[in-house]
Structures are given as structure tokens and as C-alpha cells.
Structure 1
Amino acid sequence: MIAGGLASVLAAAWKFLRPVETQSRQEALDMLYTLGPRIRAAEQMPELEEIEREIDQVLRTQRKQPVADDQAERAVTAVNVAAHRLENLIHDRRAYLASQQPGPAGS
């Protein structure tokens, strides 16, 4: 039992100590595409802020990757278009959430 616990601790430590693996552009797109439903279901502003941080992280990671050819350039464009679309969804969701807030008393 002690050995199993020690193995779990070592595995967790290894996860944080190893070099960060860069997402492929396809993985980045897949990750961005999963955010749309989360945006549409968000009920509070902090949820949208967290999603924005995730988008920013994906874009920062992708920015560090070289663009070697036309195919890579198209992939970069696809990531940027997806991120822009998500930002529009976030904007729309914020407007919707703000419209659902009760007005000041006496209005």
C-alpha cells in the first residue's frame, strides 16, 4: 500500500517536472472547438473569464510554433479564426447574462 502511494506521488511529481509538450495545431483546434458549448452554457461571468484565459493560453502556445509552409500557415489561420469566433460567443454571452441581471430597485 505504501509503495502504491509512493508511486502515485512520484507520477504526479513527474507530470509537473517534465517539459511542457506543445500542442499540435490540430489539438489546439480540437481544444478550442470544445469551448463553444461551455460558453453557451456559462451562467456566470467568472466562467467566461476562465474560458478566455484558456483561449489565451492556446494562442500563446501556438505562437511559439514555427510556420514552415503553407499548410502550417493555414493551420495558424484556422486557430485564429476559431479563437475569434469564441471571443464573439463570449461577448454575446456576456451581453445575455447582463440582460438577465435584475435592475436597480425602484426602476
Structure 2
Amino acid sequence: MIHMTIAVPALIGFALLLMAMARHQQDWLRRKLPPRHSRLLRRCGLGALALAFAGAVLGLGWAYGAVCWFGWLSLAAVLVLTAQTNRERILRLISGKIV
């Protein structure tokens, strides 16, 4: 259960950081968000990563918790990168045009 406390905020954090970038907003939303919203997404993304770190340290201790946190960060980054790479397929699936 403690690993879900680390993995979910890490995944959400990287997804928010991705969406904080104007280029990726254009890719996913087909428009750019105002700078105020981008800053909010960036802060929330970093907050989610900090929350994942706090969960790791509180649940597993400083040594093992930090190592486990980095491992989940790596996996979350790969998942978000994979989603970004396959975004056209994902958007087609969401819109109902299954190919």
C-alpha cells in the first residue's frame, strides 16, 4: 500500500509538469493555457512529487524511502513519456475513433 502512496502522486506530478509546458498544452489541449494556469500546474506537479517523497520517507524511512522514491519517479517518468509519445493514439481512442 505504501508503494501506491508513492507511485500515484509521482505519476500525477509528472503529468502535471508535462501539462505545464506550452508545447505540450498545444499537443493535448489544442490550445495554450494562460501563464497563471501554467504556473499553478507546475507548482501542483512539484507539490505532488514532494508528497510522494514525504510518503516514501514516512512509510519506509530515509534511506530506503529515498531509493524507492527515485525508483517510482523513474517509472512514472517513463509512463508519462510513453503517453506523450503515443498521444495521437490516445486522443483518437478518447474521441471514439478507434484505429
Do they superpose with TM above 0.5?
A: no
Q: TM-score scaled by structure 1? A: 0.40
Structure number with greater Rg is 1
Between Structure 1 and Structure 2, which shows a larger proportion of helix residues? Answer: 2
